[in-house]
Structure formats: structure tokens, C-alpha cells
Amino acid sequence: VIDIRSLYSKTGLFTYDPGFTSTAACDSAITYIDGDKGELLYRGYPIDQLAEKSSYLEVCYLLLYGELPTAAELEDFGNRVTRHTMVHEQMHYFYRGFRRDAHPMAIVTGVVGAMAAFYHDSTDINDPVQREIASIRMIAKLPTIAAMAYKYSVGQPFVYPRNDLDYASNFLHMCFAVPAEEYKVDPVIAKAMDRIFTLHADHEQNASTSTVRLSGSSDANPFACIAAGVACLWGPAHGGANEAALNMLRQIGSVDRIPEFIARAKDKEDPFRLMGFGHRVYKNYDPRAAVMQESAREVLSLLGVENNPTLQVAQELEKIALEDQYFVDRKLYPNVDFYSGIILDAIGFPTSMFTAIFAVSRTVGWIAQWKEMIGDPQKKIGRPRQLYNGATNRDYVDIRQR
């Protein structure tokens, strides 16, 4: 690691690194990734252990405060979160301003940004108490906001949160309960949902997290910063990849068509890429994909659709790609998004909700990173440099002479 902080002021030199492949923009003690080993740790704890033994709310506590909670601390944290699960009643009017067929991510981006208007008593970033309240509010309300976006899109009434349910079950309840019908969350589905939240909770300095940090570096309020993160996550190369991966698996449709799509992915003239494959940091199997594959099997077996053609295509595609020299040479493995779409689809979510669910999960990671940045004594406004390659100095030409 070369510390080049004062390189420019001392020498006039700066580095050129599009995509930040070799540039660290911060110190962080939250998440560690060893991309070559395929290792992911939250505050030092391996992701597979957390996915198996912990719960999403406990993981939230860990990411935010650095240590696993005691039973009393977890209970207190859970109570603080559930106190804030409802959104302001006026927010209902805000939803009505959106078209029925608006993408849920468009709604979530807008509503999270608008939280600063509804909760401006927690926008002072210099007040640690307000920072804490804003953090808890977002962790508590994001599931409600995303579930409301879903209900709005399917034309059903909003369902209020149920604070007697755990985080994942409450989210499923708000999405799938309908008036006058009993809805009971299956524990296997709730566990799969909780795992999806846990596996997506943080991933160090990815594009959306870096966006949150960059937005926060100007001292923008936390709701605005998280809304910026949601907007960045929407892209198909980032959070939109699970939606794109499922669409691709369905487009392939059957195992016999896999070679055709593998050939397209390898063809440099064809913009097609295997969605859910490859990662900027993992040059080995994404440890989250392994847990996700296991979870997909559990959910599909509960629902009695073990022979689901999409899962079959996914497993066969993975097998063929992992033996293909093109993918081997480039160290392209399935990432977290490859199997998550299959689970979400089996649970009953439309693909348009996938990225919104990712945003719910990642909110805690964004907040933990934002808080770490705000508390960093070395914090500076982010200001990347550029290599200018436009026109040199020229005189203005009057419009009649152009």
C-alpha cells in the first residue's frame, strides 16, 4: 500500500485509476474481503457462520457497533428498531403521486430521499443522538417503505408492520398479507429471507457504498446519502444483477440452450454477459453464492419444486462455466446474485422487487460506513481528479457565425 495523500500538493502529480481498481479511498474496520480466497468477514466474523447461526438484526448490531450483542443488548436494539417500523401517515400521500406501474426502485429512491422532509429532527450530522435516531429509523423503515412500494404496484392496500414478528417475517407479512385473509409466514421462508438480508448487509467499498460515503463527505444529511446509495444500487452491473440474472436464466429456459449463451458471453462482439457471474473483488467462488445455493434448495424443496427448471439451468450453467477455459482464465465465478433471484421468485416476489430487497438489506451497511466516515478525524470532502482530454482554450463564436 502506498500512501499518496499529499502527492499532488508536494509534487503536482496524481494517479489515474478509472473504476478505482487500485485506489483505497478510506480506512475501514467494518468488512473484510479476500477476493482470492473467497472470504468475507463482517467485523471479523465469517459470513457463512453469520448466515447459519446469527440473525439479520444481530448482524445489524454487529455492523453498527463492532461487536456481537449480549442477549440484553440485542433485545434493547430490537425494541429500538421496532419502535420505528411505521412510516409517517402523510407518506401515504407521497406514494399516491407515483404512477401505478413505476419501478419499485424509483419509488424507494424517492421515498428514502423524502425521509429528510418527514424526519428533519434527525438530519443534524454533527449531533450523535440525531445520527443514531436517523440510523435506527432507516433500518426500521426501509422494509416498510419497500413493502409499500410493492403493495402500491400490485394495487393492494398497504399493510402495517407487525412488531411481534422478527425483521424478515414482518417484511414478508407487509408484502404478502391481504385484508380478511390469514397469512402465516413459514419459518423456512423467513429464514431464507433473513439470510438474503444478512448476505447483502455490507460489502465494503462497492459502488453504492462509495456513493454513500462520497455524498456524506459533503455533510449531506443521512437520508439523502442513503437515497444516493439506493439510486446507485439500481444499476444492472450492481444491485440490479439478481433481476438480470433471473431474467437471463429464464431466457435460457432449458439446459440444452446453455452452450448457445456461453458462446455469446465469450463473444467480444456481443455485449451479452453471464449475469450473476464475475466480481470486481472475488476472483474465487463468492462465499455468499454458496450459502444462497443451499438456501435455494431448501426453499424449493419446501415448496415441492425441487425440479424447478430455472434452478436446473443455473446449476448446469455454473458447472459448464466453471470448466470452460474462458471463465477459468478470467476467474469468473457465480456471485451472490446468481441464486438469490431464484429464491425471491420462489417466495413470490416479482423481479422488479429484487433490487428493492437488496436496498433493504444493504441499508445497515451504508449506515455503518456513513457513521464510520462521519467519525473519521481524517474525513475530507471527496473530490476525485480527472485527466482532461477535451478542447483546449478557444474563443467564443457568435451563434450567427457557427
Q: Which residues are the active-site residues?
A: 279, 337
According to CB under 6 A, which one of 292, 332, 347, 356 is a site residue for ligand ACO? Answer: 332
Listed ranges 135-143, 168-176, 215-223, 233-241: which one lies at the site for ligand ACO (CB under 6 A):
233-241
| One-letter amino acid for residue 384 of the chain | P
CA distance 322 to 145: 39
Contact segment (CB under 6 A) with ligand ACO among 66-74, 94-102, 132-140, 274-282 equals 274-282
Which among 211, 214, 165, 227 is positioned nearest to 190, based on CA atoms?
165
Name 39's bridge partners.
34
Fill in the DSSP letter of residue 217. Answer: T
Find, among 312, 319, 337, the residue nearest to 262 by Cα.
319
Write the binding mask 246 to 265 for ligand ACO: x where contact by CB under 6 A, - elsewhere. Answer: -------------------x
Q: Does 274 bind ligand ACO (CB under 6 A)?
A: yes
Distance CA 77, CA 60 (A): 9
State the helix-helix crossing angle for 354-374 and 207-216, rounded to 10 degrees: 40
Q: Does 196 bind ligand ACO (CB under 6 A)?
A: no
When binding is defined by CB under 6 A, the residue of 80, 103, 250, 280 that contacts ligand ACO is: 280
Q: Is 345 in the site for ligand ACO (CB under 6 A)?
A: no
Q: What are phi and psi of 274, to 5 degrees?
A: -70, 110
Work out how close the CB of 115 gets to ligand ACO at its nearest, in angstroms, rounded to a whole number.
24
Cell of residue 149, nine digits: 412500494
Q: DSSP secondary structure string, 131-160?
A: HHHHHHHHHHHHHHHHHHHHHHHHT-----
What sign results for the dihedral spanned by CA atoms 278, 280, 283, 286? Answer: negative
**Residue 330, interface with ligand ACO (CB under 6 A)?**
yes
The pattern of x and - marking residues 160 through 189 that bind ligand ACO according to CB under 6 A reads ------------------------------
Residues 121-160, one symbol each (x = binds ligand ACO by CB under 6 A, - = not), give ----------------------------------------
What's the closest the beta carbon of residue 234 comes to ligand ACO, in angstroms?
11
The one among 166, 318, 337, 345 contacting ligand ACO by CB under 6 A: 337
- In 3D space, the residue among 296, 368, 304, 343 whose CA is nearest the CA of residue 67 turns out to be 368
The reply on whether position 279 binds ligand ACO by CB under 6 A is yes
Provide, rounded to whole angstroms, the least separation between the CB of residue 328 and ligand ACO. Answer: 11
In this structure, the dihedral spanned by the alpha carbons of residues 148, 151, 157 and 159, taken in order and rounded to 10 degrees, is -50
Residues of this chain that bind ligand ACO (CB under 6 A):
237-238, 241, 265, 273-280, 330, 332, 335-337
